Structure 1
Amino acid sequence: MKIAFSPCPNDTFIFHAWVHGLVPGAPKLEVTYADIDVTNELATRPDGPDVLKISCAALPWVLDRYALVPCGGALGKGCGPLILTREPVIPADLSGKRVAIPSERSTAYLLFRLWTSGHVSGGVGEITVMPFHEIMPAVKEGRVDAGLVIHEARFTYPQYGLHMLVDLGEWWEADTGLPIPLGAIIARRTLDRETIAGWIRASLDHAWTHPEASMEYILKHAQEMDPEVAKAHIRLYVNEYSANLGDGGRDAIGTLLTRAAKEGLVPPFDPASLE
């Protein structure tokens, strides 16, 4: 079975057992490790992988061929994307400025656009897509005016001497009371997604039961990340919604995409397509 997910600790933690043949009855995986911008694009291809981790923001483009799997994704509270700058600024200072983002079809960028529509008069200027690990250096070096960052950048941005303008997760939670819908697992509609969900949950259960067993694998793919940062990343992004989206998780995804569709930021969206 072909699968694509990011090399980030939350994904490698969840899928370690399945990748290493530790989930009884699960098929062998052929894994593509790629940043979210790449997996979002892979999901649009007719020959895309059987299972993928993509941004929740990319779902409206792929739900005709892929179905949402009710586990394995990345949702939660206190784990949202940040807008970082080289010097302290206020929201109005972003007007007309150049901003680096990790993907045009990322939840981070969708939250960014929803937030800027009410806080940055006239909007920002040029948007530049970069791999997420290149964004903070670009802000520090002045190649961009601001950066939209995700993942472990929440923990490491002070090391670059950068300043947080806004935590978009805090803004979303205050505005909606819902968790932040970052990433989702999808599977081809020709496959039995409940069986796939069972394999993912078994892999996650193994990870939670044997948390140190996956650490070598996690650090191998985490671009030389400090082990303590990797563990903090996992604690933040692997949670109850990873095991089961539930009504709260689906409501979060549906609310985000319904709002975005009303703003014309994504194609028309029917929340029933998440079932």
Structure 2
Amino acid sequence: MTRTLTLGYSPCPNDTFIFYALIHGRIPLPGLAVRERLEDVETLNQLALSGALDLTKVSYHALGHLRSEYALLRSGGALGRGCGPLVISRGKTTMEALRGRRIAIPGRLTTANLLLQLYGEGYEDVLVLPFHEIMDAVAAGEAEAGVIIHESRFTFLDQGFVELCDLGRWWEEETGHPIPLGGILARRSLGAEMIGLIDRAIRSSLKYARAHPEETRAYIGHHAQELDNKVVASHIDLYVSDFSLNLGEEGVGAVEDLLRRAEERGLIPSCERPLFLS
């Protein structure tokens, strides 16, 4: 009998690139089938909080609220350097001037929001929107500034916005760590053996995509918010790194430090359970 597991990830090119082979049967999973659900990252965060998914991509901010029920996998995530969220506005201003002003964010449990809150106090007045609506909201004056992620990083200058702060650069300079954006979680109830099998399968799926990039293009293009081929390629280059194959000691250290700092600020609950089961 085949057991079906639900897997949530975003329609962004980095996720569809990583999971293409797994979803399309290129990676053997004896006795298992995987049914995908593609949603924006904040929807995935909320679905995980409700326990709706067996496996899912989430923001590392959300992981801080999910550690009791979910374990982190070592493959499939987004963690790297030079890939952090940006704070943008319509005109020149400063981060200091934004304290107490409304800022559009791509979800309360996104790492983008967590980095904003860790940057300093006074940024609690937020307007929560899907990531692709943030620049329109800032342009319309619904927020003084916005925190942008994903494809918006590559298009905001062309649309006349000004960069106020690279929160990823701030994190790297503050901590020396790469930026933990999102990771893949598995229900702890699946058990260490199955979680290890899935972790290895995701790693194999990414290796397959790197070896057969042409094969993935139609699937990626079908789901991409930004259909420009150069933007899609830039997105994958930026968000899919060797950390996506395996977090390694450096990646694990970055995640642990992010969670520790968030706990100290009271932004996530403390948890004694280990991050990993496999």
TM-score interval (norm. to shorter): over 0.9
| 2:258 equivalent to 1:253 | no
Give the 3-state SS of the residue equivalent to 1:87 in structure 2.
Answer: coil
Query: Which of 96, 99, 109 does residue 105 from structure 1 map onto?
Result: 109
**Residue by residue, what CA displacement relative to the aligned partner does 1:62-101 show, whole Å, maximum 9, x if unpaired?**
1111110111000000000000000011122102211110
Deviating beyond 6 angstroms after TM superposition, the runs of 4 or more aligned structure 1 residues are none
Give the 3-state SS of the residue equivalent to 1:186 in structure 2.
Answer: strand
Please report how far the alpha carbon of residue 229 of structure 1 lies from its aligned counterpart in structure 2 after TM superposition: 0.3
Give the 3-state SS of the residue equivalent to 2:71 in structure 1.
Answer: strand
Q: 1:135 — aligned with what?
A: 134
CA contact (8 A) 1:8 1:221 kept: yes
Please report how far the alpha carbon of residue 273 of structure 1 lies from its aligned counterpart in structure 2 after TM superposition: 3.3
CA contact (8 A) 2:226 2:232 kept: no
Please report how far the alpha carbon of residue 257 of structure 1 lies from its aligned counterpart in structure 2 after TM superposition: 0.8
* 1:156 aligned partner, one-letter code: T
Cα separation, partners in 2 of 1:5 and 1:45, compared to 1, 3 Å: same
**Alpha-carbon distance between aligned partners in 2 of 1:197 and 1:272, rounded to the nearest angstrom:** 16
Please report how far the alpha carbon of residue 223 of structure 1 lies from its aligned counterpart in structure 2 after TM superposition: 2.2
* 1:171 aligned partner, one-letter code: W
Is 59-68 or 106-115 further displaced after alignment? Answer: 59-68
Give the 3-state SS of the residue equivalent to 2:64 in structure 1.
Answer: helix
Query: Which of 202, 205, 215 does residue 203 from structure 1 map onto?
Result: 205
Give the 3-state SS of the residue equivalent to 1:3 in structure 2.
Answer: strand
The 5-angstrom pairing of residues 69-84 of structure 1 reads: 69-84=73-88
**Alpha-carbon distance between aligned partners in 1 of 2:28 and 2:123, rounded to the nearest angstrom:** 50
Query: Which of 242, 246, 253 does residue 240 from structure 1 map onto?
Result: 242
**Alpha-carbon distance between aligned partners in 2 of 1:13 and 1:124, rounded to the nearest angstrom:** 34
Q: 1:120 — aligned with what?
A: none
* 2:118 aligned partner, one-letter code: L
Please report how far the alpha carbon of residue 151 of structure 1 lies from its aligned counterpart in structure 2 after TM superposition: 1.1
**Alpha-carbon distance between aligned partners in 1 of 2:135 and 2:273, rounded to the nearest angstrom:** 35
Query: Which of 227, 230, 237 does residue 228 from structure 1 map onto?
Result: 230
CA contact (8 A) 2:6 2:55 kept: yes
Please report how far the alpha carbon of residue 142 of structure 1 lies from its aligned counterpart in structure 2 after TM superposition: 1.6
* 1:273 aligned partner, one-letter code: L
**Alpha-carbon distance between aligned partners in 1 of 2:276 and 2:161, rounded to the nearest angstrom:** 38
Query: Which of 50, 53, 75 does residue 49 from structure 1 map onto?
Result: 53
**Alpha-carbon distance between aligned partners in 2 of 1:189 and 1:113, rounded to the nearest angstrom:** 29
Q: 1:178 — aligned with what?
A: 177
**Alpha-carbon distance between aligned partners in 2 of 1:257 and 1:185, rounded to the nearest angstrom:** 16
Query: Which of 29, 32, 37 does residue 42 from structure 2 map onto?
Result: 37
Q: 1:59 — aligned with what?
A: 63
The 5-angstrom pairing of residues 17-36 of structure 1 reads: 17-25=21-29, 27-36=32-41
Please report how far the alpha carbon of residue 169 of structure 1 lies from its aligned counterpart in structure 2 after TM superposition: 0.5
**Alpha-carbon distance between aligned partners in 1 of 2:124 and 2:196, rounded to the nearest angstrom:** 44
Q: 2:265 — aligned with what?
A: 263
**Alpha-carbon distance between aligned partners in 2 of 1:177 and 1:232, rounded to the nearest angstrom:** 24
Unaligned runs of 5+ in 1: 118-122
CA contact (8 A) 2:137 2:143 kept: yes
TM-score by length of 2: 0.93
Please report how far the alpha carbon of residue 269 of structure 1 lies from its aligned counterpart in structure 2 after TM superposition: 4.0
**Alpha-carbon distance between aligned partners in 2 of 1:103 and 1:274, rounded to the nearest angstrom:** 25
Q: May I ask how many residue pairs the two structures share in their alignment?
A: 269
Give the 3-state SS of the residue equivalent to 1:185 in structure 2.
Answer: strand
RMSD: 1.4
Q: 1:10 — aligned with what?
A: 14
